[in-house]
Amino acid sequence: MPQLGNLALAIALILAVYSIVANIYGMRRNAPDFVVSARHAIWSMCAMVTIAVVVLWVALLRSDFSLEYAASYSSSTLPTAYKITALWAGQQGSLLLWTWLLAIFTSVAAFQNRRRNPDTAPYALAVLAGVAIFFLWMLNFVTRPFDLLPAIPAEGSDLNPLLQNYWMAIHPPSLYIGYVSASVPFAFGAAALITGKLDDGWIRSTRRWAIFSWFFLTLGNLFGARWAYEVLGWGGYWAWDPVENAAFMPWLVMTAYLHSVMIQERKDMLKVWNLSLIGLAFGLTLFGTFITRSGVISSVHSFTQSGLGPYFLSFLIAVTVAYTALLIFRSKQLRSPAEFESYLSREAAFLFNNLILVGITFAVFWGTIFPVLSEAVRGVKITVGPPFFNRVNAPLALGLVFLTGIGPLIAWRRTTADNLVRSFAAPVAIGVATGIIGAACGLRQWYVLTAFSLAAFVMGTVLVEFRRGMNARRHLLAEPRAKALVNLVAKNNRRYGGYVIHVGVIVAFIGIVGSSFFRTEVKKSVHAGDSFTIGSYTLRFLGFSEVDTPHLASATARVEVLGPDGREITVMTPAKLFYIRAQQPATLVAIRSTPLNDLYVVLAGIDDSGQTATFEVFLTPLVFWLWAGGLLMVLGTVIVMWPNVRERAAIATVLSRSSSADRELADLAAPGGD
C-alpha cells in the first residue's frame, strides 16, 4: 500500500510539470488542445494526490505501524476520529493535506474557467501548478509521508494528547483551507501581470475565492483560539505566539484586500496596491509555514519541527522576487488616472482602513521576527510576548473600529457637512451615551471606555443603515417591517452581509476587551468538602472519581458552584488525564459560560493522599462575546456569499436581449463570477 502512495505522489509531480508546459505551449502557439490537455492533467494530478491521502488514511485507520508516520502519530487505542485527524498531526501529513487542498482548488478553478478567461486562466493555472510542484517536490524528496520503518513496532507512540481534542480536529483544516485558497486570487493576479490584462477581471473572477479564503482564515483563527482556551488551561485564548501570528497576518491582509478591491472596482485605481496585497497574503501563508516548520522562532505550536525551513525560505524568496519583478515590469501599464476628491469620502476611509490593517500586520510581523533580529545583531536572545503586541496593537485596533463605523455610511467621492450630521448624529449620540453610562458604572480605564463607546458608535451606524433601508422599503413598497428587513438583506446581500460581519467583528472586539481587562484568578488547595470564592461565585470541592481505560487514565474532581444567593448553580468536573501510550499528563478544563462571564476551573494538582486538590480558577467577563461575534461573522459571510438570484436573473435578461454582451456582465452572470 505505501508504495501506491509514493507512486501516486510521483505521478502527481510529473502531471503538475506537464500541465505547466502544456498550458504555456498551448497559449504561446495558440494550440487550444494543449490547454485542454493541461486542464485534464490538473484533474488527474488531483486524483493522484487524493489517492495518496486515502492511502495514508487507510494506514492510520488500520494502525499500520510499518509506516513511520502512522507509528509516530497514532496508536491502536487512539479513538477513530483522531486517527482521521492524525493525517495533519505531523509534518508530512500536514504538507500532504496542504497539497491535496491545493490540488482540489486548482481543479475547481480549472473547471470554473474552462470557458471563461481564456486569455488569463491558463497562466493562472500554471502558477497554481507551480506552487503544487513545490509541495509535491517536498513530499517526494524531502519529507516523505510513506517512509517505512526498518522494524515494525508493536504499538504506535500515539497522537500528542494536546491534539486529541475536537477543536484541534477542525482548526488545522480550516486554517489550511484559508491559506491555500488564497493561492487562487494570487494566481489570477499573477496571470494578469504575466498577460498584461490588468483590468479588474482578475479581481472579479476570484472574488468568491477571496471571501472563501477570508472565511476559513477567520474560522481557523477562531477555532485555534477556542482550542487554546479549552485545552491549554491557562484561562486565555490568544498569546501572540509566532504560529498564531502566522495565522493572523494573512487574515489581516485579506481583510485589507477585500476592502481595497472595492475601490478598484468602482474607481479603477489602486491596481498596484491590490496586486501587492494579494501577493503579500500569499507570501504570508508561506512565511507562516516557514516559521512553524523551521524552528527559527520557537513556538509552543511546533509539534513538528524539522529542517524544512531553508526550502520554504528559498521558495518564498523566489516567489517574492518573481512577483515583484512582474509588478515592476508592468508598472507603466498599471498607472491609472486616479482621482480623489476629499478626505471625507468612502475611498479615504478605505485607504485608512488599509493603512491600519497593513500597519497591524507589520507590527505583528515585526514582533514575530524581532527575537531573530536581536540575536543576529546583539547576540542576545529576547522574548517578544503578549505585552508587546497588546500595547502596540491596542491603539491601532481603536482606529480600525472607528473606521468600521465611518466607512459604510460615508459617501463615495465626497460628503457634505449636512450629510455627515444626518448619518452620524444618532450613532455618535449612542457612542457618547455608552461612554457616560460606562463611566457612571465605575469604569475608569480610558481604553475600555473608548473601546466600548466606539463599539456602540459602530453598532449605531449599522442600526441607522438597517433602519434607513427598511424604511425605504416600507414606504416605497409598503412592505411590513419583518418582510422589509428580510428583503433588504436578501436583495442587497453583499452590502448587508458585510454589515453583519462588521457587527460580528465589533461583538468579538467587546469580548476581547472585556476578557483582557477584567480577568480575575484564584489558586487554592482545598480538602474535600471545603469551599472558596471567586467573584460572586462560591466553589465547593466535593471529591474525586477515577476512571481508567487502556488509552487514558483520569481523575475527575466534582466542584459544586454556588451563586451569590447561596443556591447551587451547577456542578463542574475539571479533570486530570494521563495518556498511557504517550506517557503524558494533560488537563481537562471545566468551563461554565454565560454572557456575563466565564467560570473556568482547572484541576491543577492532586496530593498523594488523594484528599486535597489544587484548583486554578479564572473568572473572565464577556469572553462569551468573542465566540458569539465569531458566529455572527460566519453568518454574515454566508449572507455575502449567498447566490443573489434576482441579480443573476436580471443580468441574464440583459444578456439575452443585447447582442453584444459586455464581457464584464458575462463574467458576472457566470457561476463563481459574482
Partner 1 sequence: MPTCGFSVPMRAEIDGMIRKGMNRAQIIAFYRHKYGEKVLSAPTAEGFNLLAWTMPFIALVLGGGLMVLLVGRWRSNPPSAPSGSKPAGEPSSFDPELRRRLENELKERR
Figure out which of the listed residues 57, 234, 447, 642 binds partner 1, where binding follows CB under 8 A. 234
| Residue listed under C-alpha cell 485542454 | 36
Figure out which of the listed residues 28, 29, 332, 378 binds partner 1, where binding follows CB under 8 A. 378
In three-state secondary structure terms, 88 is helix
Residue among 187, 196, 346 nearest 263 (CA): 346
Interaction between residue 583 and partner 1 (CB under 8 A): no
Interaction between residue 388 and partner 1 (CB under 8 A): yes
Interaction between residue 398 and partner 1 (CB under 8 A): no
**Smaller CB distance to partner 1: residue 420 or 604?**
604
Interaction between residue 154 and partner 1 (CB under 8 A): no
**Smaller CB distance to partner 1: residue 114 or 381?**
381
Figure out which of the listed residues 30, 549, 609, 660 binds partner 1, where binding follows CB under 8 A. 660
Name the minimum Å distance from CB 26 to partner 1. Answer: 30
Interaction between residue 269 and partner 1 (CB under 8 A): yes
Sequence-separated (6 or more) residues with CB below 8 Å from residue 13: 133, 136, 137, 140
**Smaller CB distance to partner 1: residue 158 or 616?**
616
* DSSP line for 556-579: EEEEEEE-TTS-EEEEE--EEEEE
β-strand partners of 544: 557
Residue among 506, 630, 636, 622 nearest 174 (CA): 630
In three-state secondary structure terms, 8 is helix
Figure out which of the listed residues 374, 419, 538, 612 binds partner 1, where binding follows CB under 8 A. 374
Q: Is the dihedral of CA 560, 561, 563, 569 positive or negative?
A: negative
Segment near partner 1 (CB under 8 A); pick from 183-191, 482-490, 514-522, 662-670: 662-670
Segment near partner 1 (CB under 8 A); pick from 8-16, 139-147, 444-452, 656-664: 656-664
Name the minimum Å distance from CB 42 to partner 1. Answer: 32
Task: Give the distance, in angstroms, between the CA of residue 176 and the centroid of all CA atoms in the same chain.
Answer: 9
Three-class secondary structure assignment of 523-536: EEEEECCCEEEECC
Task: Give the HSE-up count for residue 212: Cα atoms under 13 Å, Cβ half-sphere.
Answer: 18
Figure out which of the listed residues 151, 154, 380, 417 binds partner 1, where binding follows CB under 8 A. 380
Interaction between residue 359 and partner 1 (CB under 8 A): yes
Figure out which of the listed residues 87, 603, 623, 626 binds partner 1, where binding follows CB under 8 A. 603
Name the minimum Å distance from CB 137 to partner 1. Answer: 35
Tell me the C-alpha distance between 108 and 593, whole Å. 41
Segment near partner 1 (CB under 8 A); pick from 24-32, 311-319, 546-554, 651-659: 651-659
β-strand partners of 615: 524, 603
Tell me the C-alpha distance between 540 and 263, whole Å. 59
Tell me the C-alpha distance between 353 and 616, whole Å. 40
Name the minimum Å distance from CB 380 to partner 1. Answer: 6
What are phi and psi for residue 539, nearest 5 degrees? -115, 130
Interaction between residue 526 and partner 1 (CB under 8 A): no
Q: Is the dihedral of CA 293, 297, 301, 306 positive or negative?
A: positive
Segment near partner 1 (CB under 8 A); pick from 102-110, 251-259, 314-322, 652-660: 652-660
What one-character DSSP code corresponds to residue 67? Answer: B
Interaction between residue 385 and partner 1 (CB under 8 A): yes
Segment near partner 1 (CB under 8 A); pick from 286-294, 336-344, 492-500, 508-516: 336-344
Interaction between residue 648 and partner 1 (CB under 8 A): no
Interaction between residue 674 and partner 1 (CB under 8 A): no
**Smaller CB distance to partner 1: residue 381 or 481?**
381
Interaction between residue 266 and partner 1 (CB under 8 A): yes
Backbone conformation region of residue 566, classed left if phi is above 0, alpha if psi is from -120 to 50, else beta: left
**Smaller CB distance to partner 1: residue 63 or 525?**
525
In three-state secondary structure terms, 604 is strand
Sequence-separated (6 or more) residues with CB below 8 Å from residue 205: 113, 116, 117, 188, 667, 672, 673
On whether the CB atoms of residues 465 and 499 are closer than 8 A, the answer is yes
Interaction between residue 607 and partner 1 (CB under 8 A): no
Task: Give the HSE-up count for residue 473: Cα atoms under 13 Å, Cβ half-sphere.
Answer: 19
Interaction between residue 363 and partner 1 (CB under 8 A): yes
Interaction between residue 476 and partner 1 (CB under 8 A): yes
Name the minimum Å distance from CB 203 to partner 1. Answer: 12
In terms of C-beta density within 10 A (0-12 exposed, 13-18 middle, 19 or more buried), how is residue 547 classed?
A: exposed
Interaction between residue 343 and partner 1 (CB under 8 A): yes
Name the minimum Å distance from CB 401 to partner 1. Answer: 16
Name the minimum Å distance from CB 547 to partner 1. Answer: 19
On whether the CB atoms of residues 42 and 18 are closer than 8 A, the answer is no
Figure out which of the listed residues 90, 367, 438, 672 binds partner 1, where binding follows CB under 8 A. 367
On whether the CB atoms of residues 589 and 231 are closer than 8 A, the answer is yes
Q: What's the angle, vertex CA 450, arms to CA 448 and CA 452, rounded to 5?
A: 65
Tell me the C-alpha distance between 604 and 615, whole Å. 5
Interaction between residue 341 and partner 1 (CB under 8 A): yes
* DSSP line for 442-462: T---HHHHHHHHHHHHHHHHH
Residue ranges in 555-574 that form contacts with partner 1 under rule CB under 8 A: none
Tell me the C-alpha distance between 238 and 245, whole Å. 10
Name the minimum Å distance from CB 438 to partner 1. Answer: 28
Interaction between residue 553 and partner 1 (CB under 8 A): no
Interaction between residue 332 and partner 1 (CB under 8 A): no
**Smaller CB distance to partner 1: residue 256 or 308?**
256
Number of residues forming the site for partner 1 (CB under 8 A): 63
Q: Which three cell numbers stand for residue 632?
A: 455572527
**Smaller CB distance to partner 1: residue 64 or 465?**
465
Figure out which of the listed residues 57, 199, 443, 522 binds partner 1, where binding follows CB under 8 A. 199
Q: Which three cell numbers stand for residue 54?
A: 486515502
Segment near partner 1 (CB under 8 A); pick from 18-26, 65-73, 262-270, 489-497: 262-270
In three-state secondary structure terms, 384 is coil
Q: Which three cell numbers stand for residue 597?
A: 462571564
Instruction: Note the residues at the interface with partner 1 (CB under 8 A).
Output: 199-200, 232-234, 266-269, 337-341, 343, 348, 351, 355-356, 358-359, 362-363, 366-367, 370, 373-374, 377-378, 380-388, 391-392, 396, 412-413, 472, 476, 585-587, 602-605, 616, 650, 654, 657-658, 660-662, 664-665
